[in-house]
Amino acid sequence: MNKNNFAPIADAMQKYSADGALAFHTPGHKQGRGAHSLLKNLVTAEGLRQEVSLMEELDDLHSPHSCIKAAEKFAAELWHADDALFMINGTSSAIQAMILATLKPNDLVFVPRNSHRAVTAGLILSGAVPIFLPVDFSAELKIPLNVTASTIRRAIKKFPQARALILTSPNYYGVAADVKGIAEILHAAGMLLLVDEAHGAHLQFCERLPISAMDAGADLAAQSTHKLLGSMTQTSMLMVRKNFVDVDAVRRAASLLQTTSPNQLLLASLDIARLQMAEVGREKILNAIELSQHLRAEVEKISALSTFDAVKDFELDLTKVTVNVEGAGLTGIDAEKILRHKFKVQCELSDAANLLFIISYADDDAVISKLVDALKSMSKAQCVRRDLMRKAQCVMRNDFSYQMPAKTPREIFFAESEIVPLEKSVGRICAEEVTFYPPGIPILNIGERITAEVVKEISALKKIGNRALSDADFIKVLV
For residue 174, being part of any structural domain is answered with: yes
H or E element that contains 273: helix 264-300
Residues 49 and 26 in one domain: yes
Is the domain of 316 the same as that of 357?
yes
- C-alpha 16/C-alpha 33 separation (Å) is 16
User: Residue 426, exposed/middle/buried by CB under 10 A (0-12, 13-18, 19+)?
Assistant: middle
Q: Which of residues 448 and 251 earns the better pLDDT score?
A: 251
Select the more confidently predicted residue: 434 or 302.
Answer: 302
Instruction: Give a yes or no: residue 64 inside a domain.
Output: no
pLDDT value at 39 more than 80 = yes
Q: Give me the number of domains the chain comprises.
A: 4
Q: End of a domain among 278, 297, 318?
A: 278
Please state whether beta strands 315-316 and 320-324 pair in parallel, antiparallel, or not at all (unpaired).
unpaired
Q: What is the band of 464 on the pLDDT scale with cuts at 50, 70, 90?
A: confident
pLDDT of residue 1: 58
In a domain, 168, yes or no: yes
45 and 98 inside one domain: no
Taking Cα atoms as reference points, which of 364, 126, 153 lies closest to residue 249?
Answer: 126
Any domain includes 402: no
| Final residue belonging to a domain, choices 259, 278, 297 | 278
| CA–CA distance, 107 with 405 (Å, rounded to integer) | 13
236 and 110 together in one domain: yes
- 291 lies in which domain range? 281-391
CATH of the domain at 340: 3.90.1150.10
Please check whether residues 150 and 256 belong to one and the same domain.
Answer: yes
Largest Cα span, the chain? 66
pLDDT at 283: 98
Helix (H, G, I), strand (E, B) or coil at 23: coil
User: 85-99, pLDDT tens digit by residue?
Assistant: 999 999 999 999 999
What phi and psi, each to the nearest 5 degrees, are found at residue 73? -65, -45
Query: pLDDT tens digits, residue range 169-200?
Result: 999 999 999 999 999 999 999 999 999 999 99
| Within a domain: 400 | no
| pLDDT score at 75 | 98
Q: Does residue 398 belong to any structural domain of this protein? A: no
Calculate the CA 245 to chain-centre distance. 22
* pLDDT number for residue 214: 98
Distance separating alpha carbons of residues 25 and 261, to the nearest angstrom: 12
The pLDDT value recorded for residue 363 is 97
Q: Average the pLDDT over each of 152-161, 258-267, 391-400 and give the range with the smallest value.
A: 391-400
Residues 214 and 330 in one domain: no
Residue 63 within any structural domain of the chain: no
Pairing of strands 474-478, 417-421: antiparallel
For the stretch 119-146, pLDDT in tens is 999 999 999 999 999 999 998 998 999 9
What CATH number corresponds to the domain at position 165? 3.40.640.10
pLDDT at position 25: 87
pLDDT tens-digit series, residues 380-390:
876 555 555 44
* Domain finish residue from 391, 423, 447: 391
CATH number of the domain bearing residue 463: 3.90.100.10
Residue 397 lies in a domain: no
Are both 272 and 191 inside the same structural domain? yes
Mean pLDDT of the chain: 91
pLDDT tens digits for range 245-257: 999 999 999 999 9
pLDDT digits (tens, 9 = 90+) for 368-427: 999 999 999 999 876 555 555 444 444 334 444 567 777 889 999 999 999 999 999 999
Same domain, residue pair 44 and 161? no
Angle ∠(369,372,377) on CA atoms, nearest 5: 130
Q: Are residues 378 and 417 in the same domain?
A: no
Q: Domain check: are 359 and 298 in the same one?
A: yes
Which pLDDT value is given to residue 260? 93
Residue 419 sits in the same domain as residue 451: yes
Return the percent helix, strand and coil in the chain, to nearest 5. 40, 15, 40
Tens of pLDDT, residues 318-376: 999 999 999 999 999 999 999 999 999 999 999 889 999 999 999 999 999 999 999 99
Where does the pLDDT of residue 461 fall: very low under 50, low under 70, confident under 90, or very high at 90 and above?
confident
Q: Are residues 415 and 456 in the same domain?
A: yes
Alpha helices in 304-427 (DSSP H): 332-342, 365-378, 386-391, 409-414
Q: Output the DSSP codes for 66-135.
A: SHHHHHHHHHHHHTT-SEEEEESSHHHHHHHHHHHHH--TT-EEEEETT--HHHHHHHHHH--EEEEE--
